[in-house]
Structure 1
Amino acid sequence: MFRFQRAIALGAVMGLAACAAPAPPELLTADGVERASVDREAFPEELATFRDSALRLGDALLASGEGNVIASPGSLLIALAMLRAGASGEAAAEMDALLGLPVADRDQAMNALLASLEEYDGDPGSVDEENPPAKPLVHTANGLFVDKNVSTGQGYLDALAEHYGTGVHPVDFRDEAVTKPAIDAWVNKNTGGRIEKAPAPYDPNNTFSLLNTVYFAAAWDIPFDAEGTSDEPFTTAAGGTIDVPMMHNMQEMAYAEGPGWQAVDLPYGEGFVMRLVLPAEDSDGGAGALKADRLAEVARALDAANPEDVDLALPTWDHKSHFDVRAILEQLGLEKTLNTTRDFDAIQQGLMITQAAQDANITVAEKGTVAAAVTQINGMATSVPPEPARSISFDRPFHYQIVHVGTGLPLFMGKVADPR
C-alpha cells in the first residue's frame, strides 16, 4: 500500500463531506520522495519529441470536433506521460510507438518541461481575467485520486512524485457524495474556476483517476486598442459571411509562409506567443487541412524567422469544447493500452482504463488571453478481490487449551459453558 507524509492523509478529503461548498483536498505526495531537479538543456531531443507528439495529439483532438474547437494537447500529453510511467509490456510499447513518446529519459524530460512552465506559476484564483497579467501566469497541476481500499504501487507513486510533482489523494470511490465533490473541487481550484467539474462522468466502480490541469493567462506584449475593434466580415467554414468584432494592430512579430499557408507568432508579455496559421483561400479543407506534419513545418519556419512589422487583423473569440479522449485514443490505435488488464499492474493490480476525457476553454480579447483545460484518465482495478478474512465468534460454549508450542504439551485444558 502507498505511504503518505501525514498519518491523517484521509482527513483532508473526508472533511469535505461536512461542507456545502467543499474546498479541494490537501495536496499530498509519496512519503520521503522529493521532486528531482533537472536541467532542460540536457533533453533537447526529448523535448522536440514531446512537441511533435503534442502536435499529433492536437491533430486528433481537433479532428474529432466540428466548428469551433479548443483543445489542450499539452494537458493530454502530460496526462498520458503520467499513465505511461506505470505501463509495461505491450501497452508501454504501443504508447511509445503510436504517441511518439521518448523511449529513454521520458519522465526526466517531462520533469524538465514541467519545471520550465513552473517558472511562470501562480494562483489562477488571483487573476483578473478582464486584465490578464503582463507576465504570463501558467499553472499546471497533476493530481491522482486512488481508492483507499485498493493497493497502489509504491514505485509508481514515487515516480509521479519525483518527476511530476503529483499530489495523491486516497478516497473511497464508492462514496460518491464525498469523492466526486473532492475531485471537482480540485479541478475548480486549479483552473481558477473556469472549469468547475471533472470532464468524465463519475463512476463509483473506478479505483483510479489521474488528472492534469493547465491554466494560462497573459496580456499581449502590445495590447489591441479596443476603439479600433469593429464589426467586419468573416467567411465561415461553411462558406457564409458573418460580421464579427475584429481587432487591429501593427507590430513586430515573427512571420513565415509556405505552400498554402501564412503564419505569425503574436507575442505575449514574455515567454509565450500565440501562433496563428492562416491557410490559403483556395486551400482544400481550410484550417482542418493543417495536420501535424504541416504544423511542425510551420513551427520550424517561425523558429527561424526574423521579426518584421505585420499589420494584423484578428477576431475576438470565447470558445469551449469537450472531448471523449478514450474514443480519440481508440482512433489513434491504442487498442492494447485501452483494453489490457495486466500492463498497468505497477499502478494497481489488473488496472483497466475505463474513461478518458478533456474539457477546455479560451477567451481572446484586446488585452490578452485566458484559457484553461483539464484532462482526466480513469481506471478500475479488475483483479479478483481477496477472500474476506474468516471470522469466528465464541458466543456459545467452547473448549480451550494452553499449549506449549515447542512440545505440543497442553499445560491447561478447559471448556467454557458460561463465561460469567
Structure 2
Amino acid sequence: MTFTKLAAGFIVISLLSSCSLSAQPRISVQERQETASNLDIKVVKAANTFGLQIHKQLALQDPDVNLLLSPLSISMALGMTYNGSSGTTKEQIASVLGWQGMSDDEINRGNQTLNTLLQKTGKGVDVHIANSMWLRKDFSFKKDFLDTNKTYYGAKAEELDFGDSDKTVRTINKWVEQQTKEKIPNLLAQVNPSDVMFLVNAVYFKGGWTQKFRTADTKDDLFKKKNGSSKTVKMMSQQGSYEYVKTEDYEAVRLPYGEGQMDLLVVLPDEQSTLQALQEKIWQDPSQLQKPFKKSSGQIRIPRFKAEYGKSLIESLEKMGMKIPFDPLQADLSRIAATPPNLFIGQVTHKSFIEVNEKGTEAAAATVVGVEKVSLDPPRDPFDLKVDRPFFIAIEDRQTGAWLFVGSIVEP
C-alpha cells in the first residue's frame, strides 16, 4: 500500500538523535534502577522477542543489506493501533506482539511506565518521547479510544480540515520536523478523501560514549565483506575495561553511553562462522546476550558506520500470524470510530537510520501504520576485538533490558 491509498494513518516515528528538543528530568543511575525494578518485565520481554522475530523475517528476505529496526517503535505503533481493535484482529495483534494473557490495562500501563522511565535519564543520555493524534474534523471517533491513547501514551488530539490536503500535510509535517529536528522532513505526502486519522509518536535519544574514541586513533583498515572481498573503512580504536565475552560461536562487547544506563551491544561471529549462523542462534535464544558479561581489559576496534533501511512489514507480520488485521473483509477495528466503515490496516512501513562515530551514536527509525476503509565465560587474558566482518548490533537500555534497536551490519 502507498501513502496515497491511506484511509486512516497511524504514524510512529522513533528517532535517536544527537540532540533533543528540551531538557529532560535527570535522576541518578541508582534511582533509575529502582524505578526500573517496578517495570512489568513482560512488556519489555515481549517487545524484544517481537523485534527479533521481525528481524528474522527481514534478514531472511534481504540477507545482503544492512538491516536496522526499532522493536520499541514498532511495538508502540501497533500497541496504539491495538487499542482500536476487537475480536480476532485484536487476538492476532496480541499474539504477534507477545501480549497473550495480558489485559489491556497491563499492556498500556507497561508501555506507559517504559516510556516514562526511558525519559528519566542520567548524565550523558537524553531521551524525549512525544505523541499526537490528528483527526478529520468531520469524522466521529470513540471517546474511549482517544482517551486511552491520551492517558497511556500522552497523545493529544487535534482536529484538522482534511479537505484542505495541502494545509493538513504542512501542519503534520511541520510538527514531525520540529520533533525530529528536521531529520525526517516531508514524511506525509498527501491527504486523501478517505483518510480519517494520523497518529504520530516521536522518540529521541542522545547518547555519547562513556569513553569517547579519540579521532587521532581512527585509521584506515580493511573490512571483509560477505562476498569475500574487502573494502577500506575508518576503523575506530580504544583500550579499556569492558563487559566482554568470547565463546566458540562469537565475541561480544558492550560499549556504554553516559553513566552506563544504555549501551551499544556488538556481536561478532567467529571468524570460521558467518553472520547468518550467528543470527540463527540469536533468533533461537538471545538470553545469553541479555545477561551481564564480566569486565575484561582489552582493545576494541570498530568501524565508523552509517546505515539506512526501509521496508514494508506487512509480509513479515503476516508470516508471523497477523493476517486478519490486513484483510478488508475480516479486520475489526471497531473500537476506533463511533459508527465506523469497514477499517483494516493497509500499511506498516518501517524506515531507519544509524550512524556510529567517535562521539557516540545517532539513529532514527520511522514506522507507518495505515488503516484503510473499503471504498558465555570471559577470558582471563586481555582481548583484542576487531570488528572487520559482518556483525550484529543492539542498542540496549541496561536497566530495563529493552532493545531499542537491533540490526545486522553487512557492510559499513
TM-score (norm 1): 0.72
Percent identity of equivalent pairs: 26
**Match of 2:313, as an amino acid?**
V
Which whole-Å CA distance do the structure 2 matches of 1:158 and 1:198 have between them?
Answer: 26
Summarize deviations over 1:359-406 as a string: whole Å, max 9, x none: 2212211011112222221213449xxxxxxxxxxxxxxxxxxxxxxx
Which of 279, 296, 309 in structure 2 is aligned with 1:289?
A: 279
Aligned mates of 2:74, 2:304 — CA distance in 1: 26
Q: Is the 8 A contact 2:47 2:71 kept in 1?
A: no
Contact 1:213 1:375 in 2 (8 A): no
Unaligned segments of structure 1, at least 5 residues: 1-37, 122-133, 384-420
- What aligned pairs does 1:9-408 form with structure 2 within 5 A after superposition? 41-65=38-62, 66-101=64-99, 103-104=102-103, 105-120=106-121, 135-198=124-187, 203-270=192-259, 271-286=261-276, 289-290=279-280, 293-294=283-284, 296-300=286-290, 303-340=291-328, 343-348=332-337, 349=340, 350-382=342-374
Pair 298,188 (structure 1): closer, same or farther in 2 beyond 3 Å = farther
- Which has the higher relative contact order, 1 or 2, with Cα contacts under 8 A spaced 6 or more apart? 2
Where is the strand percentage greater, Structure 1 or Structure 2? 2
Q: Deviations over 1:257-281 (max 9, x none)?
A: 4452221111011311001111122
CA contact (8 A) 1:212 1:374 kept: no
Q: Name the CA distance, whole Å, in 2 between partners of 1:227 and 1:204.
A: 56
1:336: Cα distance to partner?
Answer: 0.4
- Inter-partner Cα distance in structure 2 for 1:83 and 1:292: 29
Q: Deviations 1:268-324 (Å, cap 9, x if unpaired)?
A: 113110011111223245477356535623433xx2322222310000012222222
Q: Find the counterpart in structure 2 of residue 26 from structure 1.
A: none
Check conservation: 2:165, 2:190, Cα contact below 8 A: no
Q: Which amino acid aligns with 2:55?
A: G
> Are the equivalent residues in 2 in contact too, given 1:40–1:113 (CA < 8 A)?
no
Contact kept, 8 Å, 2:169 with 2:190, in 1: the verdict is no
Q: Structure 1 residues 285, 204: closer, same or farther in 2, change over 3 A?
A: farther
- What is the CA distance between 1:226 and its match in structure 2? 0.3
Q: Which residue of 2 aligns with 1:399?
A: none
SS of residue matched to 1:41: coil
Query: Distance between the aligned counterparts of 1:52 and 1:176, measured in 2?
Result: 39
1:308-367 Cα shifts (integer Å, max 9, x gaps): 223100000122222223343233331101125652111121322122222221221101
Distance in 2 of aligned mates of 1:69 and 1:199? 23
Once the two structures are overlaid, the 10-residue window that deviates more, 248-257 or 230-239, is 248-257
How far, CA to CA, are the matches of 1:54 and 1:200 in structure 2? Answer: 28
Q: Which moved more, 1:223-232 or 1:70-79?
A: 70-79
CA shift for structure 1 position 179? 1.6
Q: Which one has the largest radius of gyration? A: 1
Report the alpha carbon displacement of residue 96 of structure 1 after superposing the two structures with TM: 1.6
Q: Which amino acid aligns with 1:354?
A: G
> What SS does the corresponding residue of 2:186 show, helix, strand or coil?
coil
Q: Secondary structure at the residue paired with 2:150?
A: helix
Q: Paired residue for 1:400? A: none
Given the two structures, how large is their TM-score scaled by the length of structure 2?
0.73
Deviation sequence 1:54-92 (CA, Å, 0-9, x none): 332333344444422332222111111111122110011
Query: Amino acid of the residue matched to residue 324 of structure 1?
Result: S
Alignment CA distance shift 1:377-1:288 (3 Å): farther
Moved over 6 A (4+): none
C-alpha spacing 1:359/1:42, structure 2 compared with 1 (3 Å): closer
Q: How many angstroms does 1:220 deviate by?
A: 0.3
**Which amino acid is the alignment partner of residue 272 of structure 2?**
D
Task: Find the aligned partners of 1:87 and 1:51 in 2 and give their Cα distance.
Answer: 22
The question of whether the paired residues in 1 share the 8 Å contact of 2:172 and 2:188 is answered with no
**1:128 match:** none
